[in-house]
Amino acid sequence: MKLTEYAAYDGVGLAELLRNREVTPRELGNCILSGIAAVNPQLNAVIETYADAIEGLGDVPGPAPFHGMPTLTKDFPIEAGRPGEFGSVLAKGFICGDDHAFWVKMRSGGLANIGRTTTSEFGIAAATESSLYGATRNPWDTSRGVSGSSGGAAAAVAAGIVPFAQGADGGGSIRTPAAFCGVVGLKPSRGRISGAPESNAPMLGLAISFMLTRSIRDTAALLDLGSGALPGDSYEIAPPTTSYAQAIKTPSNALRIALCTTSWSGYPLDAEVKAAVLEVGKRLEQLGHKVVEAGPVFDYERYLAAQKVIWAASTAQSLDELAGLLRRPIDEASLQQTTLAVYRHGRTLDAASLIAALAVYDRITRTVGEFLAVHDVLVTPTCAISPELLGTHNPDRPGRDIDTVFADLAPKETFSALFNGTGSPAISLPLGWTQNGLPIGVQFVAAFGRDDLLLRLGAVLEADYAWHQRKPPTHITKTA
């Protein structure tokens, strides 16, 4: 299979070829290797591939629904026996001891993990520029970054290396790289994806694993495969009444849509970003939806203070545990300045501070829930800015403290991180473009558990905007 042929299909399309024996898993693996060779020197999105996994790709279809399709996972522990270094010198050489439940489901549905992609260190910075593996560059403009933390996954999908790749989202880490790279990034509802076996509530319920894709039908099929609670999970929500793959075939009735371009943090929106969101609002009206300008009203400063506590406490606990396991010191040689600042702040906190922060999140979750009971969908920018130049927020520059770390996050996570706190489903769709040809992500948020509503609306917008027709300058089909 030629790369031009391979890149013409999304994951569901490739799975159909596999099922019909028109292509083999081994052939797809070779396409991925060729794609990596073609574009990864420019992008630095893929850290490594696994020779044994590639050798194990067969010539016959694997289990449904993906029938042996190879893909890539983020540099976090997810599959037993594979490296998971968190993009950090501290964790260099760390090998995952247990399969994570999400990946067990993916593998049982015919996906094969054949390599790993770059991440920001421990997923904290919204810039995939680690000391361990260097900066990942944007396929749309290699002088620019990919946000973070699932930046390698976003770049690999945008450049055509794979139709989808695994990531995780604790504050926007799927959605903001998706926005910067012009792909689809869903953060499912809390509890939709199990955190087993490591955690009932990763990052105190803020973080969740899922996939970055190029198509809504891939997102739906992957959510069908990966969702569902396991015994012992802290969160269990009702399953959808029909499969997501089936749901996207039926457009929603007219929706009550709230459009918000007011920056909750006060960080100014790029004019092109605001214009793109407003244009989407106009298009939604033309499609028959009722659109009003509105957004949830909450105390952002209290929310931000609580977020700092929860992130820092979680970071301190997890890094202390990992450093103890590896018998390595936590210092400036093992961590970037950004991570170290968050860790040090976490070590100053007491239990009462954490409980108070969680109480703030509870109150804001109720506020957002009440807002989304009146409005079916909230539309915002995914990020306040378009893709920034590499090094703009270098995570290892000196003088970091908890406040400057979160100031760095504001341009990219002003609109995204709130919904990790509330557990609401949120998706970034590539619906805008700057005059320089850079992608702009628009975020859609629904009430808790209504992932199906976002996918239904996303399917309509995908047909309308046809984002799959755009390919970045650095793409596997554009190599000599």
Cβ proximity of 198 and 165 under 8 Å: no
3 state DSSP class of 301: helix
Q: List Cα–Cα distances, 25 to 10, 55, 102, 221, 239, in angstroms.
A: 15, 10, 21, 19, 31
Give the separation between CA 229 and CA 195, rounded to whole angstroms: 9
**How do beta strands 69-74 and 111-117 pair?**
parallel
- Decide: residue 329, CB within 10 A, 0-12 exposed, 13-18 middle, 19+ buried: exposed
CA distances from 16 to 9, 158, 162, 264 (A): 10, 21, 16, 44
Sign of CA dihedral 303, 305, 306, 307: positive
First to last CA, the chain: 16
All residues at 6 or more sequence positions from 124 whose CB lies less than 8 Å from its CB, including other chains: 149, 311, 315, 338, 339, 342, 395, 405
Which active-site residues does the annotation give? 74, 149, 173
Return the structure tokens found at 78: 């997810």
| CA-based torsion, 200, 206, 207, 212: positive or negative | positive
Task: Collapse the DSSP code of 5 into the 3-class scheme (helix H, G, I; strand E, B; otherwise coil) and give the result.
Answer: helix
